[in-house]
Structure 1
Amino acid sequence: MENENMIRVLKIEPGKMPYVKEIQNDLEGIQAEVEGLFECVYLENNCIAVVNEEGKINGMELNRRIGNDIIAGPFFICGDSEDGEFVSLTDKQAGMFTKDFNEIPVFTGKEPEAQPRMSFIGFKL
């Protein structure tokens, strides 16, 4: 599948309602949206949450809960192609995740999931 230069994503920022926007689908564009290095969290319906890999370590504002974790810093949700490429969200996907992330949570910062965790092979921290 041909890589889309611009993709339609759902942007989710701390303290704000989710919104749809187009972003540049390249390394610089993706890093700009999450304000640093990124990692992928696989979601249902062939979607991916692209989050800041070091959000907690860098002390970014707590944003939303995904599964058993709390994401720190801005992130976005995009589609995942069969080839593993980032692709635009469909209207249905954008609507579903807008509903899922519409509530703006209040975090104390004391939540265990909010603490940075680092693991080193061969060591227990």
Structure 2
Amino acid sequence: MEKKTLSVLIVEPQKKPYAKEIGGDLKSLQREVGGYIQAVYPFREPVVLICDEEGKLSGKALNRALRDEEGQIYDVVAGTFLIAGLGEENFISLTPEQMEHFMQYFQTPEQFRITNSKILVSPMGDERSEDPPVYRYAADYAMEHGEIREYNLSYRANEKCKKAIQQAISRHYDGSRLRVDEAVKEVLGKFREDRVQYILANTVQRKSWDGRISPESKAWAQTMSIPNGNRNAYLSLDDVNPGLMDSFLKGVRESIPKKKKHEKTAEKKERKPSYER
């Protein structure tokens, strides 16, 4: 009898995830996670996250944070874990679409610190360290005031942010629906909130004629100060459907106040990290 195999995604601490064919029996699953298995179901998709049941107690390295639909952390997985498909009675292989989706979802390794009973999570290598302040003046002003270095650093970061927004929208659009929360979370996890807003406002101002962009978004964009200059034309999100961009923009505008409110509330509360329960 042919041995059952599973096509799964392996996620190790401080490493990028990778696909692997493994045995579908209990011993094979235990071997991959390095201990007794625990199955959890943190996603709406029919998949299962399988980890070491005693990973935290045994002091294994923290791996990835689990977040709710609002992007707030509610738990942290310790040690290597895997993502498999979920059948009616057994674990099954991931579909190619599921594999690609969760490969991107867990693509960036995370690092953890605990400060004043708060869990602080940041991407490995912290891409935000390469995200300088947004320079809000035109190139000629920067030249006149000896700030061309700041201008160039900001412009390069703007280009990266534009690319990241386009990729996130493309990645989280399934042909009929944009997973707005996931796309927004991905971009805001890499770039400053004001930089993301800058790119979106610049695009909307340049597409004010487009009926696929809501009046609310157009009114919001007009409140943002965007300098005149031909170079900003290259920062416009021209490779994204304006309607999808508008949905993403609404998600960003809704997400930022929630994030700030949560951070403000967290500062007032003293509580243990959830993974110490």
What TM-score do you get using the length of structure 1 for normalisation?
0.84
Q: Is 1:108 aligned with 2:113?
A: yes
Compare relative contact order (CA 8 Å, sep 6+) and give the higher one, 1 or 2: 1
Taking only the aligned residue pairs, the percentage that are identical comes to 38
Which stretches in structure 1 are left out of the alignment for 5+ residues? 118-125
What TM-score do you get using the length of structure 2 for normalisation?
0.39
The residue that corresponds to 1:46 in the other structure is: 46
1:43-81 deviations in Å (ceiling 9; x for gaps): 221000001111000000000012311000000000000
What CA distance in whole angstroms lies between the structure 1 residues aligned with 2:29 and 2:82?
9
Q: Which has the higher strand share?
A: 1
The residue that corresponds to 2:56 in the other structure is: 56
Q: Which has the higher helix share?
A: 2
Q: Is 1:70 aligned with 2:76?
A: yes
Partner of 1:108: helix, strand, or coil? strand
Q: Is 1:24 aligned with 2:23?
A: yes
Which stretches in structure 2 are left out of the alignment for 5+ residues? 68-73, 120-272
What CA distance in whole angstroms lies between the structure 1 residues aligned with 2:57 and 2:5?
30
Over 3 Å counting, the alpha-carbon distance change for 1:58 and 1:99 in structure 2 is same
Q: Decide which structure has the larger Cα Rg and report it.
A: 2
What CA distance in whole angstroms lies between the structure 2 residues aligned with 1:36 and 1:58?
10
What CA distance in whole angstroms lies between the structure 2 residues aligned with 1:38 and 1:108?
26
Number of aligned residue pairs: give it: 112
Partner of 1:79: helix, strand, or coil? strand
Match of 1:91 among 93, 96, 101: 96
Q: Which amino acid counterpart does residue 274 of structure 2 have in structure 1?
A: E
What CA distance in whole angstroms lies between the structure 2 residues aligned with 1:66 and 1:38?
18
The residue that corresponds to 1:121 in the other structure is: none
CA displacement at 1:113 relative to structure 2:
3.1
What CA distance in whole angstroms lies between the structure 2 residues aligned with 1:70 and 1:109?
12
What CA distance in whole angstroms lies between the structure 2 residues aligned with 1:113 and 1:103?
22
What CA distance in whole angstroms lies between the structure 1 residues aligned with 2:36 and 2:48?
15
Partner of 2:274: helix, strand, or coil? helix
Partner of 1:28: helix, strand, or coil? helix
What root-mean-square deviation, in Å, do the aligned CA atoms of Structure 1 and Structure 2 show? 1.4
Contact 1:62 1:114 in 2 (8 A): no
The residue that corresponds to 1:82 in the other structure is: 88
